Structure 1
Amino acid sequence: MTVPSVSFEFFPPRDLEASFRLWDTVQVLAPLSPRFVSVTYGAGGTTRELTRDAVATLHKSSGLKVAAHLTCVDATREETLGIANEFAKAGVQDIVALRGDPPKGAERFTPHPDGFADSCELISALADKGDFTIRVGAYPDRHPDAADDQADIDWLKRKIDAGASEALTQFFFEAETFLRFRDKCAAAGITAPIIPGILPIENWGGVKRFATACGTPIPAWLDEAFAKAARDGREDLLATALCTEMCDELVGEGVDSLHFYTLNRPELTRDVCFALGVVPEVKLENVA
């Protein structure tokens, strides 16, 4: 069986308890030797400073390659590139460059008068600095602001052409969704790696709300399956089985890397990785 490489996304902690949870999450998943781990911004850039601090701390203390999220929301170009400079000074060489979600209460993204107009402008400015490996977002299901499915592919090509080297997708619920998207991207001339974003379902109600906000379609069969599992008290078992099955199908179709949205709850992600053959390396001591 082909064993994929993995990467993990974390939230920045908002308080002391959350800081312990993040560190526990890192301790559980670090032995799986991820390609990198990323730390998000909150909606509307609300955790900008928390993200910066968490990235610096993880980079210094964990031994992992850390990618920092950076968005265009509510900041001037100077402020945004200033944060990028701080990452570079801290030794962080990977950035996930995103337009970002609108601030709370706003229906649509509106650029700061002195800020980047969109993610492509941000990517281009970061690429000109030459300090970073730049990853970007991709959307197998239509982004809420996209006019049609092709618009998402056109935007992704623009982001790659602006200087990004890899794309991480929004989560999805069926492997076929990603595989169709990958084929369309290849047909559009996109050659950069497109890594599927995987969301293990810790809480189905919360995931449904998240999916609705992101414009991710929810298959009727999946809603029915979790309703039945809830009656039987088997939600975790179902979540592990479904996520493992989907990842296994992706790997069988040639996907060699997976990016997990952990929500700082590592157990389900760890269990899925184990099922896929992603396990801690065992170092054997020489016996004289």
Structure 2
Amino acid sequence: MTNENQQQSYFSAQYLAKLNQHIADIKTEVGVSFEFFPPSTPVMEETLWGSIERLKTLKPKFVSVTYGANSGTRDRTHEIIKDIKAKTGMVAAPHLTCIDASKEELRQIARDYWANDIRSIVALRGDIPEGESKPHMYSTDLVKLLKKEADFDISVAAYPEKHPEASSQQFDLDVLKAKFDAGANRAITQFFFDAETFLRFRDKCVKQGIDGDIVPGILPVSNYKTLVKFAGLTNVNVPDWMHKLYQGTDNDPMTRNLIGASVAMDMVKVLSQEGVKDFHFYTLNRSDLSYAICHSLGLRPE
């Protein structure tokens, strides 16, 4: 066996050992959070609340609700966040974008949240409206604005494979460092499908002097075609092995769900044993896959 083959065999063995070791045996405190989006129909609203009630039993650190680029969706986010806080007592963090609101509007929104005991916010730039070339504010500006209003706990976005609009990954890292310097408490990453991608990114953040938490965003895949389309828009690499796994499952949602849960479980096992203690799940308003993965992390309802 050549030295190269021996090295590959060694790393393969190390990887398998990480997969086979049960996470519950590792004496670390695992924290999770969940992302939801505002429902647009009564049926979707029922699904959302069913998911919230089930995932609540795992005692997440917080739950977040996404934010649309128009006032109607924005108002729904405000309503749902307040309802979650009132009905469940969980820490509820609304997404807030600065691309479609003035500074005074953002200040008013922040004050309203604080007055309603909402202390956590996910601060984002948002998508640039069609026809505009440059936003009037960036996420760093939003973090500064929020911190001036009150001592919010602020999460921001990070991109292990580079933001689609960024000129380079170094530029991306500079922007992330600026967001932490402005007062961000943690960064939640875009979803990814290679544990090494996140680990390399985490190392780069350390070299950049970023000492805040970098939380991996985990997307359990249920609709593969939609994923491929969305990944193309967000600069996320979908590995060839995933394409092969999902072949022939177009009309088989049960198999797709099992594959999605298995892929995500393997990834969180490896990340957990590399020292990652917090995970953020993009639930798409469904609880089944995220709940199963959390179970594999050793989380149980009391």
Task: Give TM-score scaled by structure 1 length.
Answer: 0.91
Tell me which residue corresponds to 2:35: 9
Alignment-derived partner of residue 18 in structure 2: none
Shift of the alpha carbon at 1:89? 1.0
- Tell me how far apart the structure 2 counterparts of residues 28 and 241 of structure 1 sit (CA, whole Å): 20
Residue 51 and residue 228 in structure 1: after superposition, are their counterparts in 2 closer, same or farther (change >3 A)? same
Structure 1, unaligned runs of 5 or more: 282-288
> Runs ≥4 in structure 1, deviation > 3 angstroms?
43-46, 107-110, 228-233
Q: 1:209 to 1:108 in 2, by over 3 A?
A: farther
Tell me the percent identity: 43
Equivalent runs, 1:156-195 vs 2, <5 Å: 156-195=176-215
1:270 to 2:287 alignment: no
1:102 aligns with 2:111: no
Most deviating of 232-241 and 144-153 = 232-241
Q: Tell me the equivalent position of 1:198.
A: 218
Deviation of 1:265 (Å): 1.0
Q: Which amino acid aligns with 1:269?
A: S
Residue 29 (structure 1) aligns with: 55
- The 1-side partners of 2:69 and 2:111 are apart by 22
SS in 2 for 1:96: strand
Q: Is 2:157–2:190's contact at 8 Å kept on the other side of the alignment?
A: yes
- What CA distance in whole angstroms lies between the structure 2 residues aligned with 1:230 and 1:108? 38
How far apart are the structure 2 equivalents of 1:46 and 1:185? Answer: 36
Residue 228 (structure 1) shift:
4.7
- The match for 2:257 is 236
Candidates 256, 259, 268, aligned match of 2:280: 259
1:111 and 2:135 are equivalent in the alignment: yes
Q: CA deviation at 1:68?
A: 1.1
Contact 1:12 1:39 in 2 (8 A): yes
Structure 2 unaligned segments of length 5 or more: list them. Answer: 1-24
Say if 2:95 is the partner of 1:69: yes
Cα deviation, residue 230, structure 1: 5.0
The one-letter code of the counterpart of 1:111 is P
Matched-pair contact (CA < 8 Å) for 2:217–2:280? yes
Query: What TM-score comes out, normalization by structure 2 length?
Result: 0.87
Counterpart contact for 1:44–1:100, Cα < 8 Å: no
Q: Equivalents in 2 of 1:102, 1:224: separation in Å?
A: 35
Q: CA deviation at 1:107?
A: 6.9
AA at the equivalent of 2:177: K
Cα pair 1:44 1:73 within 8 Å, conserved: no
**Alpha-carbon distance, 1:86 to partner:** 1.1
The Cα RMSD (Å) is: 1.7
Give the deviation of 1:109 after TM superposition: 6.2
Q: 1:43 to 1:177 in 2, by over 3 A?
A: farther
After TM superposition, give the deviation of residue 17 of structure 1 in Å. Answer: 2.2
Distance 1:17 1:83 in 2: 28
Is structure 2 residue 101 aligned with structure 1 residue 81?
A: no
Maintained 8 Å contact 1:44/1:102: no
What is the rounded CA distance, in whole Å, between the counterparts of 1:250 and 1:119 in structure 2? 27
Q: Which residue, 161, 167, 186 being the options, matches 1:147?
A: 167
1:119 deviates by 0.7
Q: Secondary structure at the match of 2:247?
A: helix
Distance 2:133 2:216 in 1: 25
**1:131 Cα offset (Å):** 3.3
CA deviation map 1:50-108 (0-9, x unaligned):
111111111111111111111112211111121111111111000110001234xx276
